Structure 1
Amino acid sequence: MTDPLTKYPRPPFDTQPQSFPGRTGKMAPEPDHGEESYKGSGKLTGKAALVTGGDSGIGRAVAIAYAREGADVAISYLPEEQKDAETVGAWIERAGRRALLLPGDIKDAAYAREIVERTAKEFGRLDILVNNAAFQQPNQNVADIDDAIFEQHFQTNIFGPFYATKAALAHLKPGASVIFTSSVNSKHPVPTLFAYSATKGALSNMVLGLAQLLAETGIRLNGVLPGPIWTPFIPAGMSEDAVKTFGSQVPFNRPGQPAELASAYVMLAAEESSYTSGALITVAGGMPIF
């Protein structure tokens, strides 16, 4: 049995500035996505999943876990993340499942529709949609936030998931699962991540509304609220001082690793969770969320 307080690295961390969206291989320490640790048990055998933002961070961990649980997995990602995406594709195939790599930008409604259609066509079905792709840029005050950057937050974090979910409804059957990556910031907004926090508040609300709106279809809608998670978002979307102390604000006194969230996404997608819809699952190292 492993002590969760000491299982992974704790702050302080080295400053490691990157431009958005960041690169996994440039992080120190490099995140754990479950490459060596996640063991599947067939919970998603025969299913097909689409994970947006699946090249790195939480999306990569989910893609690897889903493949090891028996699902074919498509991942969407920005074109500049091709190398990271190919690494994830290799892990999916190593698990004996089919991988589909879909470069593009989720802000584009046509692209969001395209990735859904291509996934359903390639795999012959679509059972799970994970709306995980996101954009984040810090701010010091409201005046510093460029209008275009504010809009990009909503286009990526809200519009993209809406476009993809709407398109997926033509393929999802009763029992299918849609999962949104929201954030603890949806309930505890961070002033220096004002725009990002606002989008996550909207996203959590979207989960609750869609769960009710789509209940009669038998499609389940849920969200995950990660706390501080060690992903390329951190050096690429936070100040150097914030990176140094990242994770110290929660009771575990360390950031979570992407691998530590995978089980929540598997649980929400699995048949055993057939009565779970409209849930917001917090994974935040003991951080109280109300």
Structure 2
Amino acid sequence: MTEPVPTKSTQEYPGQHKDLDPQPDLLKFRDGREHVGTGKLLNKRSIITGGDSGIGKAAAIMFAREGSDVVITCFHQELPDAEHTKDLIEKEGRKCHIFVADLSYSETCTNLVQFAVEKMGGIDVLVNNVAYQKLAETIEDISDEQWDHTFKTNIYSFFWITKAALKHMKPGSAIVNAASINAYVGRPDLSDYTSTKGAVVSFTRALSNQYASRGIRANAVAAGPIYTPLVHSTFPSEMIEVSNQVPMGRMGQPSEVASCYLFLACSDGGYITGQTIHPNGGTVVNG
């Protein structure tokens, strides 16, 4: 298995999958095996925001291997990575549609849902995965513009997309929201990002209570340090090394979080709603 080694120089935001060396594990696991599809999402239709790289990329490919067609989103500069994701999904025999946009705008989020319905005919699984983060030592270093953009990307988009998507989701559908370990440990140099991830947890709990009676589940995944382009475009290498200091002593791989997304999206997680899974390398957060 590949072991993430911090690069000597970080990437420019938002980072590129193709530039990571070694390449992240998208379908492989620590024991050397590769994810084997068993039809857990056969003929389902999924939206995965931020599906061009990192955890979203791994989830999109894993969902396709389980039988789902997928709509993924990316920024314009991430299109090469998104095209790579599409190629891998099509090799699994499923369809992939790319929506290029900045999801920090309400109209764009509504347009995404309409695009997905037009391309796939409906929505069975929604994975709100897109995120923005930028280091700031204290809140005094965070501009109003940064605070606003972080919230619009990391929680407003979840609200806007979910609100539009629920009109097309039937009983048995599932929503998976990307939270973060930072919502539980209160990372001081990402206070705006951390705040949005706390909002994601609360949003997920409220959403689950609203829609459980209608047969739609909503859960969250609060990942710890994961080997992704976002990490390498946000942190200097010495900080990445510190982030490896979890009980398991290593960063996680995208595949190890994507499998959590899959569990919550399919019927294996059919009796789970309003909960948060913590793939974080062993940090106990009691949340």
Give the alignment's TM-score, normalised by structure 2.
0.94
> Following the alignment from structure 1 to structure 2, what is the Cα–Cα distance between the partners of residues 22 and 88?
15
- Check conservation: 2:75, 2:102, Cα contact below 8 A: yes
The aligned residue for residue 261 of structure 1 is 257
Q: Deviations over 1:206-261 (max 9, x none)?
A: 111111012222110000010100101112112332023331x2111100010111
> Following the alignment from structure 1 to structure 2, what is the Cα–Cα distance between the partners of residues 111 and 193?
26
1:276 to 272, 279, 282: 272
1:63 to 60, 64, 82: 60
Determine if the alignment matches structure 1 residue 252 to structure 2 residue 248.
yes
> Following the alignment from structure 1 to structure 2, what is the Cα–Cα distance between the partners of residues 264 and 14?
27
Q: Give the SS at the match of 1:20.
A: coil
Q: Give the SS at the match of 1:121.
A: helix
- Check conservation: 2:9, 2:236, Cα contact below 8 A: no
- Check conservation: 2:173, 2:215, Cα contact below 8 A: yes
> Following the alignment from structure 2 to structure 1, what is the Cα–Cα distance between the partners of residues 133 and 74?
15
Determine if the alignment matches structure 1 residue 29 to structure 2 residue 22.
yes
1:38 to 20, 35, 40: 35
- Check conservation: 1:16, 1:27, Cα contact below 8 A: no
Q: Give the SS at the match of 1:178.
A: strand
> Following the alignment from structure 2 to structure 1, what is the Cα–Cα distance between the partners of residues 95 and 137?
44
- Check conservation: 2:125, 2:175, Cα contact below 8 A: yes
- Check conservation: 2:4, 2:24, Cα contact below 8 A: no
Q: Deviations over 1:97-139 (max 9, x none)?
A: 0111110011111111111111112111210000000000011
The aligned residue for residue 9 of structure 1 is 3
The aligned residue for residue 97 of structure 2 is 100
Which amino acid in structure 1 is aligned with residue 242 of structure 2? Answer: T
- Check conservation: 1:10, 1:253, Cα contact below 8 A: no
Alignment of 1:1-290 (within 5 A): 7-9=1-3, 13-34=6-27, 37-247=34-244, 249-290=245-286
> Following the alignment from structure 2 to structure 1, what is the Cα–Cα distance between the partners of residues 14 and 44?
29
**Cα distance, 1:10 vs structure 2:** 5.5
> Following the alignment from structure 1 to structure 2, what is the Cα–Cα distance between the partners of residues 52 and 287?
26
Q: Give the SS at the match of 2:85.
A: helix
CA RMSD across the alignment? 1.4
Aligned length: 282
**Cα distance, 1:61 vs structure 2:** 0.4
**Cα distance, 1:140 vs structure 2:** 1.3
Q: Deviations over 1:53-82 (max 9, x none)?
A: 000000000000000000001101111111
> Following the alignment from structure 2 to structure 1, what is the Cα–Cα distance between the partners of residues 268 and 186?
33
Which amino acid in structure 1 is aligned with residue 40 of structure 2? Answer: K
- Check conservation: 1:181, 1:223, Cα contact below 8 A: yes
List 4+ stretches of structure 1 deviating above 4 A.
none
Q: Deviations over 1:160-204 (max 9, x none)?
A: 010000000110001100000100111111101111111101111
> Following the alignment from structure 1 to structure 2, what is the Cα–Cα distance between the partners of residues 139 and 47?
40
**Cα distance, 1:28 vs structure 2:** 2.7
After superposition, the Cα gap between the structure-2 partners of 1:259 and 1:21, relative to the gap in structure 1 and judged at 3 Å, is same
> Following the alignment from structure 2 to structure 1, what is the Cα–Cα distance between the partners of residues 262 and 74?
21
Q: Give the SS at the match of 1:37.
A: coil
